[in-house]
């Protein structure tokens, strides 16, 4: 670690997940590519929060590729959490609402023992938060479990919704465009980490990217993006294998055209772009505009040239090993968001409309073609089961079937149906819901402002087991280790999947529920 010998003692208010008063010391100063940075040393870690990795994408930089942060004039105090990127929803309390476009910041958490050994190259976990590419923040994840394993943790913000996945007509030619700006932000943050992490005691040649939900989808996008080549070595995707059929430039153009009409922006490409850039942030966060941004990544011929499946077939990917999995009851989280919004149970119209909105036009073909209104049907439960199956579980199985032919792939299913809930109760049980595993990997996770429910003793043991597997993989590319059930690689003829329940980890060859997925 490149450090200047400068240290002070102070008292302050610091928060990761829970606000509390701590006595702490300022860290040694770290020399980085864009200036000197000073963090805060605590008992088990040194935290560097709110580090700018790119210039603020505001004004003329809105909808432009991220620009490397200019050199800082003075020592930058990295002891405070920074803005979250502008969001269109909180997903039922998953993340906080924000209206800030000045948000391209990251946090670096360094184990205390790593900071004391300047020659040690610690493995690096690069966390990409989820939230449907519409919400999510680097600031809501306590890295302590991984810190305790000697792993440096980096958490990042990236542009979301209408600011992160938008066709800017002034930056496009007929073949390619800047659309996946949020993905480009992730890549800019990865470049910053590659350039600077050794100054924090990390190993730039041992970086694992990890994300959940849209963060997991971001992991897949980085695996298959030519612009992410050589920026990381391993990957973990949780509940991220969906939207395999990516939209294209024409689809993105249509969204921009619709928004331009709504905001009275007319003229040639440059005029429309300038007009849209002049509009205040809040005009893009209204429901009629934000609802246009729920389709994930685009094949823009800049960051992504083809679908994930096509990239697998053509051997165009950036890892040799990965962990990929899902939760047993993925759909219940989204049923909760909808039912709590409605203030009642879902009916047939809610069921059909929500599935089409969240899953896409193929819903009619795969899910509801034989479904008719029925007074005895629990449509909240039906929505939960069908969304989870078709949006998460089946795409994950299909992805694993294909990608396991190319790389060392480890499949899992999180199945603790008693997982602590941070979201409001609904008419059905949440079970092993979407995001439910996060509390087992990030200490005290409770979303943006949900109630904190501690893990019970059996859940705490499951948490230790999961963290051990994850930490082993982050360090070596193989999750197995002493005193752990052997996690065999997934193969087409042996669909090995590690099932995580409170009675321990168990290797199975079929998933815990009978899932008949479309071919």
The catalytic residue positions are 213, 330
Helix (H) / strand (E) containing 155 = strand 152-156
Token pair, residue 235, equals 């990957």
Query: Which DSSP symbol is given to 138?
Result: G
Residue by residue, DSSP assigns 328-393 as TBTHHHHHHHHHHHHTS---HHHHHHHHHHHH-TTHIIIIITT----TT--HHHHHHHHHIIIIII
Torsions phi, psi for 123 (to 5 deg)? -65, 155
Q: How many helices (H) and strands (E) does the chain have?
A: 16, 17
Token pair, residue 270, equals 């440059």
Nearest to 323 by CA among 220, 246, 222, 231: 220
Q: Which residues pair with residue 298 across a beta bridge?
A: 247
Report whether 188 contacts 104 (CB < 8 A).
Answer: yes
| CA dist., res. 75 & res. 92, Å (int) | 39
Is 190 in a helix, a strand, or coil? helix
Is 468 in a helix, a strand, or coil? helix
| CA dist., res. 7 & res. 5, Å (int) | 7
CA 203-153-404 angle, to 5 degrees, is 75
Residue in the structure block whose two tokens are 């209104």: 373
Is 242 in a helix, a strand, or coil? coil
Report whether 49 contacts 82 (CB < 8 A).
Answer: yes
């Amino acid at each position: 670690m490149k450090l200047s010998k400068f240290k002070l003692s102070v008292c302050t208010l610091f928060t990761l997940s829970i606000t509390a008063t701590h006595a702490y010391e300022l860290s040694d100063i770290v020399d980085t590519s864009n200036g000197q940075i000073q963090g805060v040393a605590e008992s088990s870690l040194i935290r560097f929060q709110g580090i700018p990795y790119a210039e603020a994408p505001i004004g003329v930089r809105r909808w432009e590729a991220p620009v490397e942060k200019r050199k800082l004039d003075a020592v930058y105090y990295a002891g405070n959490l920074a803005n979250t990127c502008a969001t269109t929803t909180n997903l039922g309390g998953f993340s906080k609402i924000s209206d800030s476009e000045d948000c391209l910041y990251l946090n670096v958490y360094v184990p205390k023992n790593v900071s004391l050994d300047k020659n040690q190259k610690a493995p690096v976990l690069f966390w990409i938060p989820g939230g449907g590419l519409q919400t999510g923040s680097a600031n809501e994840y306590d890295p302590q479990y991984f810190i305790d394993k000697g792993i440096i943790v980096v958490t990042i913000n990236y542009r979301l919704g209408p600011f992160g996945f938008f066709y800017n007509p002034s930056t496009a030619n007929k073949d390619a465009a800047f659309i996946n700006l949020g993905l480009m932000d992730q890549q800019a943050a990865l470049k910053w980490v590659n350039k600077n992490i050794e100054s924090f005691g990390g190993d730039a040649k041992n970086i694992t990217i990890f994300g959940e939900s849209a963060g997991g989808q971001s992991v897949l996008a980085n695996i298959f993006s030519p612009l992410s080549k050589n920026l990381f070595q391993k990957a973990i995707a949780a509940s991220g294998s969906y939207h395999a059929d990516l939209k294209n430039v024409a689809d993105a153009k249509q969204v921009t055209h619709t928004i331009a009409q709504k905001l009275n922006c007319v003229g040639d490409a440059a005029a429309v772009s300038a007009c849209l850039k002049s509009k205040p942030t809040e005009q893009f966060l209204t429901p009629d505009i934000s609802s246009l941004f729920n389709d994930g990544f685009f094949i823009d011929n800049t960051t992504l040239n083809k679908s994930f499946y096509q990239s697998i077939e053509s051997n165009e990917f950036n890892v040799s090993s990965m962990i990929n999995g899902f939760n047993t009851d993925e759909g219940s989280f989204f049923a909760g968001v909808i039912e709590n919004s409605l203030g009642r149970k879902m009916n047939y119209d809610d069921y059909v409309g929500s599935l089409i909105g969240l899953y896409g036009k193929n819903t009619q073909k795969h899910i509801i073609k034989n479904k008719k209104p029925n007074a005895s049907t629990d449509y909240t439960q039906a929505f939960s089961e069908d969304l989870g199956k078709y949006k998460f579980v089946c795409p994950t199985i299909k992805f694993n079937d294909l990608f396991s032919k190319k790389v060392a792939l480890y499949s899992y299913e999180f199945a603790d149906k008693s997982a602590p809930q941070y979201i409001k109760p609904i008419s059905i049980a949440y079970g092993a819901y979407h995001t439910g595993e996060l509390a087992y990997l990030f200490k005290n996770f409770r979303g943006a402002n949900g109630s904190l429910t501690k893990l019970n003793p059996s859940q705490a043991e499951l948490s230790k087991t999961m963290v051990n597997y994850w930490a082993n993989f982050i360090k070596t590319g193989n999750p197995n280790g002493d005193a752990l059930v052997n996690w065999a690689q997934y193969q087409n003829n042996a669909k090995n999947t590690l099932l995580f329940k409170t009675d321990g980890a168990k290797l199975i060859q079929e998933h815990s529920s009978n899932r008949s997925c479309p071919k």
